[in-house]
Amino acid sequence: MSREYTPKVITANHLMLGDAIWLTEDDTWSRDIARAELLTDEAHADMRMLFAKGQPQIAVGPYLAEAEQGALGPVPVHLREVFRTRGPSNRDHGKQVDGAI
C-alpha cells in the first residue's frame, strides 16, 4: 500500500550567498519560504525537482522538504527546516542583520 503524499516545498542553498532558498511558482528562488510553491501532487513535485536541479548556477543541493499551508504561505513542518528559515546559527549574518528574526 502506498503512502499518502504530504505537501512539500523545494529548498536549496544559494550558490553564491549560501542562504536557504525556496522555489516559487513563477520559477524564481526566494529567501522567504512563505513565497515558495506548495507542492501537493507527487508527479508535479518530481517535475519541479527536475527544474530545480537544472539550475546549478543558482541552487545547490535542491531537495523536497515537508511543509504545510500557513496563514501567509507555506511553513516548515520539521525543526531542521524551521532552523533554515532563520538564517545562520551565528548572530549578525544574513537575515539576522535585517531584523527578520
Comparing CA positions, the residue from 32, 14, 24 lying closest to residue 76 is 32
The backbone torsions φ and ψ at residue 86, rounded to the nearest 5 degrees and listed phi first, read -95, -10
Q: How many angstroms separate the CA atoms of 22 and 14, rounded?
A: 9
The cell for 81 is 527546516
Coil/strand/helix, residue 43: helix
Q: Which pLDDT tens digit goes with each residue over 25-39? A: 999 999 999 999 999
Q: How confident is the model at residue 87 (pLDDT cuts 50, 70, 90)?
A: confident
Three-state secondary-structure class, residue 25: coil
Phi and psi at residue 29, in whole multiples of 5°? -115, 140
In the chain, domain spans = 8-96
